Chains A and B, each alone.
Chain A
Amino acid sequence: MQVQRQYREDLTGRVRVLTVLVAVALVIVGGGFWFVQLVQGSHYRELAENNRLRRMAVRAPRGLIYDHEGRLMVENAPSYDLLLDRSRTRDLEASLEFASRVLGRPVEELRKNLEAGQGQPASHPVPIGRSLTLPQVARFSAVALERPEFEIDVRHLRLYRHGPQVAHLIGYLGEVSEADLERAQAEAAAAEGDDAESRYRMGDLIGKKGIELTYDDLLRGERGERAVVVDSRGNLIQEYGRIDSDPGEPLRLTLDLPLQQAAERVMRDKVGAVVALDPRDGAVRAMVSSPSYDPNLFARGIRAAEWKELLEHENDPLQNRAIQNQHSPGSVFKIVMAAAGLSEGLITPSTTVHCSGGTVIYGRLFKCWKAGGHGTVSLNRAIAQSCNVYFYHLGRELGIERIAKWSRAFGLGEKSGIELDGEIPGLVPDPEWSLRTRKHQWFPGETISVSIGQGAISVTPIQIARAVAAIANGGTLVTPHLVEGATAATERVPVDDRVLELVRQGMASVMQPGGTAYYRSHIPGFDYAGKTGTVQVVGGRTGDSNDLPWKLRNHAWFVSFGPVEEPRLVVVVLNEHGGSGSSGAAPIAKELYEEFFEVGDRAPDAVPSGRPAGRVASAPARPAPPQPAEPAATASAGTD
């Protein structure tokens, strides 16, 4: 008992000590408050009242974009904004009136911009006008003393040096949307707590399309911050501390700027797309979609009227026709057919077929494009002269299932994997697709149409470029890419290179005398290979498509690679409503090979060849009045 009471007294004594300690600590803390609130109180009140301590963002310069040889394509140029600090004006209306007069913009517009910043505290300046001219900037600076509510902020805007020439690839920036802001805020809160700052702020510009979108995180860098002390007028007294911004990473594209510009120049008055890539690894050297638009309109803030004009334009300039637009490939598809036929053992290089201008299959007449027929043809001539009948028979033997299988083996019917938004996969039809989507069976007659690339099959220019690259490089499906060092995922096409060699020879013959592209498009001293394609828009007509209204003319395709020995470039041209492949598309590719390899008319010592230049079919300057949209190609190559 004695011991226990002793223990208990010890215990009680120590608790008493603890109590004293706590009381003393509270007094010390109380002393701290006395010091901060009473002794230094007025000092802090002053700091508080004048909002003297501010945190300001230091913007990170966005990464620049270069072509593969280091030519600058996209940079940042200064732009001046007008900001209004609501807590500093006694008469908001008068301030808005003044700004409206100087800027020459309506008061309602400025007020609307001001309201957009409603959620921010009153002392946070809100941008009410963008892209001021230097004289306007000077005006506001001159009245800064009388009107402390105005601030000028310098931003850097994207400058796309080559405007419409690279529009679809590069894309453009736009203001971050509510949805983007909410999502980024949620991500930050999950990682660091409710207080965390998200990586986006209202008013930030982020990539919305193209490379600017895909590589936005890399390009934008990280904003920095600085704490500043300002006086009662908002002038900077002292910079308190600074975290520098982390500039965005520069991007080196695989693009070849001179080639891109040449392609855009040629396509400018046409509607369609050009894709040029390196078959060895899929590096895209040029990608053009026409008509195009100027992304600098977006950089400085596109106006409603301009946006409307783009949306309502008949030929949809915002669409990237290289990846977002699909058409039947026409005769270009014959190269895939040839590879399929050889691999399946249905044909050999010496198998012959007799073409008399048409053939009857399943009780129907399927015509060849040459009225009297090609006579007896083997594979090489069938490709070189694009004989339909040869391929009708081959198609019948292969059947749609095998045609579909080989199409997919060459990458058709699936996205190419290029790092741009909006790519569509095209369509490789088969009976299962027909039942699922069209709710009826696949008709054997349709297989015959598909054999020459008409009918339900449809491809995008980039897909067919990828397939041609596989033919050129010996059977590897590369992933087209725009940035050096992007993923190099490849797939093997299960095909023997000897088969591909035969196809390549066939395509080389297209550029020789007798081939469909020789006359207008061969380059003396430079051997390249290709295949023309002509896709009917309206079936069953005879006569020159050029006599039809533009919208009803055939589409012109041309796919190619060069040089024949060790190919380094694949060029695919789609000239919508451009007429025949040999007149409407092949000559475009010729110009590009000349530009890239400095041969032919572009050779350093070129002498004008005296050959007829060859009129390349193009769209009229002002397209015909809007007509109901036509399907890209119709099912049959010949009715009657």
Chain B
Amino acid sequence: MTTAISISEERPAFRNLSGMDWALVLSALVLAAIGVATVHSASAEMPIDYLPRQALWVGLGILFMAVAGAINYRTLVDLALPVYLMGLGLLVLVLIAGEVGGGARSWLEFGGVGAQPGELAKLTTALFLARYLAGVNKRYLGVKELAVAGLIVAAPMVLLALQPDLGSAAMFVPMVAGMVIVAGLRWRFLAIAALVVVAAGAGVWSFGMQDYQRQRVFTFLNPESDPLGAGYQVQQSKIAVGSGELAGKGYMQGTQSQLRFLPARHTDFIFAVLAEEWGFLGSIAVLGLYAVFLINALRIGMRARERVAVLLVVGLVSLVAFHVLYNTAMVVGLVPITGIPLPFLSYGGSFTLLNFAIVGILVGVDVRRYVNA
């Protein structure tokens, strides 16, 4: 009996590096380098310079990328369930024994080094979900499959929301949406799913959100109403971005950043620093780099021979794409402000490692797409 999982029983094998997608890896590396440089500029009026740390994270990230690429993704898929459970386990552990940082109990510390299991959970969930969805032997997903997919994703989301880290929890939504749509969704299910999301959103709005979070949405709709809080942030961001005009003010010459008007400029608003210093030309160039990255990543998904590979790629890329699109849109005032960082540019340890690991997995999937015929 053949299954829809793979065309042959043999495991995909590694061929050679010449088939590797260099554009993907290079664009990621260039973005990371730009990130380190921009973080340095953003750190200028801060108590410490974040450049050495971010450089360290990038270095470690490259290591992670190599390791993730070297591991045969099929091995990961086979281990998907225990890995997924381990991810959940770590999330539970951090609720009990974790350290608080940035308002949420999201860190686990081992002898001075800390990591956020939330980021790992995104990987493990994508893996397990890909495996589950790949095993569905139907053209279109039915209610039962959608429900199971929802549950697989709901578990880590709830654990993250308890930290409370609603931002990270929400990131699972684009990931599962991308995977489910690609796996096959009838239009009417899409409509139902949309309704469910709206209903869940209403529920989250009324019961899950705190006042300041609701206020952020109101402020987005009318920035004039809260010029001191989130309204201030978006206004300052637009001033920084807009004042860059065509060619920017020059490296480390961004007045809004240097004069400390822009909050969170080494993390969520890093793109505003870049836009101020490199202008429209710089913004478009970096957006172009992201385009190269994302489109190449998706093409890996189109090339992949196995259903599980396709779904895994789609899930991970949806995650990264959503971060990129939302963060850049937020910086320029198109969407409400939330704590969504920018892959490869924003300062952050676990987040940088996650993104590089994703690149590694993508490359790993790609070079193994040839099967011994």
Contacts and interface: CB of A to CB of B under 8 A. Distances in A.
Binding partners A and B: yes
Interface stretch (B10-18, B19-27, B258-266, B360-368): B258-266
B181 A30 contact: no
Contact of A37 (B182, B242, B301): B242
Interface string A591-632: 000000000000000000000000000000000000000000
Given A8-B307, A33-B283, A122-B259, A55 B228 contact: yes
Contacts of B178: 18
A365 B220 CA distance: 91
Nearest to B231: A241
B275 A33 contact: yes
A195 B275 contact: no
Nearest to B305: A8
Contacts, number: 169
Contact of B182 (A4, A14, A122, A190): A14
Q: Of residues B240, B287, B332, B333, which shows the largest number of chain A Cβ atoms within 10 Å of its Cβ?
A: B332
A640 interface: no
A32 B243 CA distance: 14
Contacts of B183: 11
Given A7-B307, A8-B307, A37-B279, A45 B243 contact: yes
B163 interface: no
A60 to B, nearest CB: 16
B54 interface: no
A38 interface: yes
Nearest to B260: A121
B325 A44 contact: no
B181 to A, nearest CB: 6
B139 A10 contact: yes
A227 B227 CA distance: 7
Given A8-B307, A19-B299, A53 B242 contact: no
A36 B102 contact: no
B126 to A, nearest CB: 15
Contact of A48 (B246, B256, B295, B307): B256
B239 A243 contact: no
Interface stretch (A20-28, A153-161, A306-314, A547-555): A20-28
Nearest to A6: B139
A85 to B, nearest CB: 12
A44 B239 contact: yes
A222 to B, nearest CB: 14
Contact of A240 (B45, B103, B227): B227
B242 A36 contact: yes
A48 B248 CA distance: 13
B283 A37 contact: yes
Contacts of A37: 241-242, 244-246, 275, 279-280, 283
Interface string B209-242: 0000000000000001111100110011011111
B100 interface: yes
Interface string A23-64: 101101110111111101111110111010101000000000
Interface in A503-524: none
Interface in A236-271: 240-243
Contacts of B334: 28-29, 32
A345 interface: no
A241 B298 contact: no
Secondary structure class of chain A's binding surface, majority of residues: helix
B32 interface: no
A246 to B, nearest CB: 15
A562 B347 CA distance: 71
Given A19-B299, A121-B45, A122-B259, A49 B291 contact: no
Interface string B290-306: 11001100110110010
A544 interface: no
Contacts of B287: 26, 29-30, 33
A199 interface: no
A15 B310 contact: yes
Nearest to A45: B243
Contacts of B235: 53
Given A7-B307, A44-B242, A48-B243, A32 B332 contact: yes
Interface string B301-325: 1100101001000100010010001
B284 A193 contact: no
A92 to B, nearest CB: 18
Interface in A211-247: 225-227, 240-243
Contacts of B256: 48
B329 interface: yes
Interface centre among B7, B226, B279, B298 (most CB of A within 10 A): B298
A47 B243 contact: yes
A444 B240 CA distance: 83
A194 interface: yes
Interface residues of A, number: 56
Contacts of B244: 37, 41
B328 interface: yes
Q: Interface SS of chain B: helix, strand, loop or mixed? A: helix
Contacts of B291: 23, 26
A22, A35, A55, A194 pick with most chain B CB within 10 angstroms? A22
B101 interface: yes
A121 B259 contact: yes
A123 B259 CA distance: 8
B243 A11 contact: no
Nearest to B310: A11
Contact of B240 (A43, A48, A122): A48
B252 to A, nearest CB: 15
B59 interface: no
A29 B325 contact: yes
Nearest to A242: B228
A8 B302 CA distance: 9
B227 A49 contact: no
B184 interface: yes
A236 B133 CA distance: 61
B228 A241 contact: yes
A26 B325 contact: yes
Given A29-B328, A47-B243, A241-B228, A14 B280 contact: no
Interface in A186-221: 190-195
Contacts of A7: 4, 139, 184, 307
B2 interface: yes
A14 B184 CA distance: 8
B338 interface: no
A47 B329 contact: no
A169 B279 CA distance: 61
B332 A53 contact: no
A376 interface: no
Contacts of B329: 28-29, 32
B168 interface: no
B181 A14 contact: yes
Given A18-B182, A41-B243, A44-B240, 14 more contacts: A4-B2, A10-B184, A22-B321, A29-B328, A33-B280, A33-B287, A36-B238, A37-B241, A45-B245, A48-B239, A48-B255, A194-B102, A241-B226, A243-B228
4 smallest CB-CB distances across A and B, nearest first, come from A44-B242, A193-B102, A241-B227, A41-B245
23 contacts: A11-B182, A11-B184, A15-B314, A18-B301, A19-B299, A19-B302, A25-B321, A26-B291, A32-B333, A32-B334, A33-B287, A36-B333, A37-B279, A41-B242, A44-B243, A48-B243, A53-B261, A121-B260, A122-B259, A225-B228, A241-B224, A241-B231, A243-B228
